[in-house]
Amino acid sequence: MTWPSQFVAVPTNALVLDERLSPPDKATQQQLANYVSAVPSVHQRLASGFTDADFQAMHRNPLTVEERQVADAYYHMYSPAGRNHRIEAEFVDGKGLVVTKGRHRFAAAQDVGLRTLPVHVRASDQTTLDRVTRQLESEASESPEVVAQFRKLDADHRGARGEQPIRNEGARTRDTGIERPRYRGH
C-alpha cells in the first residue's frame, strides 16, 4: 500500500538525515547551492501569479542567469512533472521527518541557511499526514502566502499524478510587486 503524501513547505530544522551522505553524483555542490538559494525567488514569482507553464517557458528561454537559476530551482524542487527531482521525507515515529530523497539538496539548504524547503511529506496513514501537515503549516504561519502557494502546488501535483485534489480552503495571496512574466503565449 502506498503511503499518502502532501507537498508542504517544511522548516529545514524539522528534517533529519538517517544516513551519512556520499558525494553527489547528479549535480555539483554549486548547482545544489544555486537550486536552494533560488527558493525565495521561486516563492516571489509564485506569489505574483507565475504558473508551472510560466516556469517552463522561463526554463526554455531564460533572459538572465538569475532566471536560469530560478527556473532550474523550480524544475528540480517544485514542478509537478519533476517526480524524479523532488525532495521527499517520511514521518517516522521517534525520528520525525526523515529525508528519503533529495538528501543533497537538503544538506545544501542547511549550508546556505534556508529556513524552509519544498518537500513531499509521506506518512503511514492519512490521519498522521494531516496532523504532521497542520503542524508544518503552523510553523510556516509567519508566511501565510507560502502556505497558500503550497496548497495550490499540492493540488497541481495531485493532478499530475491523476489523484483527486484535496480542498484548498483558507488560501490567501499577497501582491509582492513582481511583474508578471513575459512568457505568456509562448
Q: Summarize pLDDT for 81-99 with one digit per residue, the tens.
A: 766 778 899 999 889 999 9
What cell was used for 111? Answer: 549550508
Q: How many CA atoms lie within 13 A of 77 on its CB side?
A: 34
pLDDT at 35: 86
108-141 burial: b if 16+ Cβ within 10 Å, else e: bbeeeebbbbbbbbbbeeeeebeebbeebbebbe
SS3 content of the chain, % helix, strand, coil (to 5): 45, 15, 40
In terms of DSSP H, where are the helices of the chain? Answer: 29-37, 39-47, 52-60, 65-77, 103-112, 126-139, 144-160
Give me 132's grid cell. 504532521
| pLDDT(141) > 70 | no
Give residue 168's pLDDT: 38
Strands of the sheet containing 88-92, edge to edge, are 5-11, 116-122, 88-92, 96-101, 15-16
Query: Rounded distance, CA 17 to CA 152, Å?
Result: 28
What size, in residues, is the chain? 186
pLDDT in tens, 160-178: 766 654 443 433 332 333 3
Spatial separation of the C-alpha atoms in residues 48 and 179, rounded to whole Å: 7
The answer to whether 17 touches 110, Cβ cutoff 8 Å, is no
Predicted local confidence at residue 20, as pLDDT: 74
Share of the chain above pLDDT 90, in %: 24
* Residue 186, pLDDT above cutoff 70: no
**What is the pTM for the complete model shown?**
0.76
Is residue 9 within 8 A of residue 136, CB to CB? The reply is yes
Percent of all residues in the chain with a pLDDT value above 70, rounded to a whole number: 78
Whole-number pLDDT of residue 145: 74
- pLDDT at residue 1, as a whole number: 57
